[in-house]
Amino acid sequence: MTEILKLDNIRKTLIRLEETLIFGMIERAQFLSNDVIYKKGAIPIENYNKSFMEHLLEGTEKIHSQVGRYTAPDEHPFSSELSKPIIDREYEWPIKRNAININDRILNLYINNIIPLICKKGDDGNYGSSSVCDVNILQALSKRIHYGKFVAESKYLSDVEGWNKLILKKNKEKIIEKLTDAQVEDKILTRVEIKAFAYGQDPLSDIKEYKIDPATILRIYKEHIIPLTKETEYLYLLERI
Amino acid sequence: MTEILKLDNIRKTLIRLEETLIFGMIERAQFLSNDVIYKKGAIPIENYNKSFMEHLLEGTEKIHSQVGRYTAPDEHPFSSELSKPIIDREYEWPIKRNAININDRILNLYINNIIPLICKKGDDGNYGSSSVCDVNILQALSKRIHYGKFVAESKYLSDVEGWNKLILKKNKEKIIEKLTDAQVEDKILTRVEIKAFAYGQDPLSDIKEYKIDPATILRIYKEHIIPLTKETEYLYLLERI
């Protein structure tokens, strides 16, 4: 098995992404929800019929695609109109090549569930700044969740026959069950909670005030990030055989 | 005096930017220095003769200018080729309109002094990811440093006559002296150090290991951010009269 697929190394990446996600959400939480930036056409943009935030997301992805971002096996774009990379970078693909991309679900989840959890409702006019934060978080969420492909490949290789049997039956319930390691999930949640407490408070304040309630960050991991990662693992396994 | 110019409110903004800067630098520090991304032409880009990172910076600014970023009095672009904003946003200008922009110095400082301080030297091929971090940090640095204009305006209004006398003489030394509040600077440095300790360590590790040495973050503030902010204050005052 290649180094990158060792579960320990995968976990290191996932652990590192916790900082990115928590920092990112704390940054976004300084602004109000600014719902208008998520509504198609609410802020009119010439020759464009999606939302203001999506416009920034797609523009950013276009630029990032030029620097080769979406040729990497762990990066997935939200938009379909990308540019050709200006650098040739050959990435190792330790997983099976695939076209699984659940960013449409991640985008929906983010706008409808995560934003209301982390931001106070209202409009402070900081549309640009809020959208810039959104793009950062969405990219990190997408990377975290699609990293499930690496997890799945690693688990698959450790028991090819056992997995093949389950996969052929397309028994989602059993596959998810076999993918689930309750102990590891508990560990993730404990760690995320500790980090949410450490990073979310003002280290100089006597009053324990949090930029985002640590319980909220925990909930986002428990109810959304972990299940969607497993969903990605499942989708990958179906194609893996 | 408008609310925004009260020193207490200015400080709140500066304090909030400490998180953005420290988080940003910690994010960048996970990659090696990847010097090639800062060298003009080292990564060939069609019809472009600057560096790979600058290409991303300029592309990002072009997108951000569309969402109106650079019409705000506290935002300053690094590049000159911007797009027309797609939203009309009227910003309040509590400071005197001016064209002071020291981003060329900030860019030099960042590449030549800050990157070698926060990143281990080497090339890990993460050019895109490193550049994305660079853009985030540069934007935060620029905002932090140019916020000196707000500080200067506030101080100016509190003693118009006293300042006018100094400014007419263009006595830089005396102006910087009058701008300097050693007690406030000490407070900033103490706060930054505490934050660097709180955010830079793995809250779960027994060994006190830091993603960036807190002394480094402190040094960046002391030797670069604070002096350049004062330089901006000085430049603004020269035009203020």
Q: What ipTM was estimated for this complex?
A: 0.76
Q: Dihedral, CA atoms, A84, A90, A94, A98, nearest 10 degrees?
A: 20
pLDDT in tens, B30-45: 999 999 999 999 998 8
Using alpha carbons, select from B96, B148, B75, B139 the residue that is nearest to residue A126: B75
Mean of per-residue pLDDT scores for chain B: 93
Output A66-74 pairs: Cβ under 8 A, ≥24 positions apart. Answer: A66/B55, A66/B56, A66/B59, A67/B52, A67/B55, A67/B56, A67/B127, A67/B128, A67/B131, A68/B127, A68/B128, A69/B128, A73/A149, A74/A13, A74/A143, A74/A146, A74/A147, A74/A149, A74/A150
Chain B nearest CA to A105, separation (Å)? 24
Contact assignment for A55 to B86 by CB distance below 8 Å? yes
Q: Does the pLDDT value for residue A140 go beyond 80? A: yes
Contact assignment for B127 to A67 by CB distance below 8 Å? yes
Cα dihedral sign, B147-B110-B31-A75: positive
pLDDT at site A204: 77
User: Looking at the partner chain, which of B26, B44, B194 has a beta carbon nearest the beta carbon of A19?
Assistant: B26
Q: Does the pLDDT value for residue A36 go beyond 80? A: yes
Contact assignment for B55 to A45 by CB distance below 8 Å? no
Residue ranges of alpha helices (H) inside A29-159 are 52-66, 103-109, 115-118, 127-146, 148-158
Q: How far is the C-alpha of A37 from the C-alpha of A130, rounded, in Å?
A: 9
What DSSP state is assigned to residue B97? -
User: Looking at the partner chain, which of A127, A136, A191 has a beta carbon nearest the beta carbon of B87?
Assistant: A127
Q: Does the pLDDT value for residue A66 go beyond 90? A: no
Q: How far is the C-alpha of B105 from the C-alpha of B109, rounded, in Å?
A: 6
Q: Does the pLDDT value for residue A24 go beyond 80? A: yes
- pLDDT band at residue A130 using 50, 70 and 90 as cut-offs: very high
- Which residues from A are below 8 Å from B63, CB to CB? 56, 59-60, 63
Q: Which of A21, A57, A63, A71 to mutate to test the interface with B (most CBs of B within 10 A)?
A: A63
Q: A7-21, A48-62, A136-150, A185-199: which has the minimum mean pLDDT? A: A7-21
Q: How far is the C-alpha of B208 from the C-alpha of B202, rounded, in Å?
A: 8
Contact assignment for B191 to A204 by CB distance below 8 Å? yes
Chain B nearest CA to A185, separation (Å)? 16
Q: pTM above 0.80?
A: yes
Provide mean pLDDT across the span B183-205. 90
Q: Does the pLDDT value for residue A202 go beyond 90? A: no
Contact assignment for B30 to A16 by CB distance below 8 Å? yes
Chain B nearest CA to A30, separation (Å)? 9
User: Looking at the partner chain, which of B20, B127, B197 has a beta carbon nearest the beta carbon of A87?
Assistant: B127
**Phi, psi (rounded to 5 degrees) for B225:** -65, -50
Question: Which residue type, as a one-letter code, is found at position A214?
Answer: P
Whether the CB-CB separation of B199 and B210 falls below 8 Å is answered with: no
Q: Which of B47, B55, B67 to mutate to test the interface with A (most CBs of A within 10 A)?
A: B67
pLDDT at site B203: 77
Mean of per-residue pLDDT scores for chain A: 93
Using alpha carbons, select from A82, A65, A98, A133 the residue that is nearest to residue A233: A98
Provide mean pLDDT across the span A146-151. 97
- Which residues from B are below 8 Å from A191, CB to CB? 204
Contact assignment for B20 to A27 by CB distance below 8 Å? yes
Question: Which chain B residue is nearest to residue A132, measuring alpha carbons?
Answer: B64
Contact assignment for A125 to B191 by CB distance below 8 Å? no
User: Looking at the partner chain, which of B63, B69, B128 has a beta carbon nearest the beta carbon of A68?
Assistant: B128
pLDDT in tens, B88-128: 777 889 999 999 999 999 999 999 999 999 999 999 988 98
- The token pair at A127 is 């549309």
Whether the CB-CB separation of B55 and B45 falls below 8 Å is answered with: yes
Structure-model confidence comparison of residues B8 and A186, the more confident one:
A186
Using alpha carbons, select from A105, A101, A63 the residue that is nearest to residue A82: A63
Chain A nearest CA to B173, separation (Å)? 34
- pLDDT band at residue A51 using 50, 70 and 90 as cut-offs: very high
